[in-house]
Structure 1
Amino acid sequence: MPDAARTAAAVHLRDDVAALVIESLPELGATLVRFTARGEPAGEVWYGSAEEAQRCAARDYGSTLGPWLEVPPTEPDPVAFVLGR
């Protein structure tokens, strides 16, 4: 099975969510995972594609959502990466 592609975005603290990470696998869909500022998981939702996950995140978080960043495959912690730690 190929490695998952990961994208991440910071959220300017809304409902205790500070970061969103999308992990996607071709033909299997994508999982959007919400994280707190402490890096703790705060829920996840499966979508048919990464694009669908990004659209729903934009709808749900609006102007509090930062830009989506490609997470390098060698990055062990996408939350720390997107929050600049």
Structure 2
Amino acid sequence: MSDKNEPLLDRKTAARYLNLSPGTLAVWDCTKRYDLSPIKIGRAVRYRKADLDKFIEQRLWSSHKTNADPPDSARR
């Protein structure tokens, strides 16, 4: 669970942390493609680093699962 005193990252900083463009994060937030748990404060959007780290870990796990060795029948 994240620390309540954890600083919040603005969209530009969060995008840099994920090696994405701020526009990509904006689209994901709008379309709900990925749940990065954005926090809206007025017009400003902020992200918790812990939520971004969780997103990265989920992607690593998914990537690992899909890169498993193919079944024996596919090796022929």
TM-score (norm 2): 0.29
- Which has the greater radius of gyration? 2
TM-score (norm 1): 0.27
Structure with more strand by fraction: 1
Structure with more helix by fraction: 2
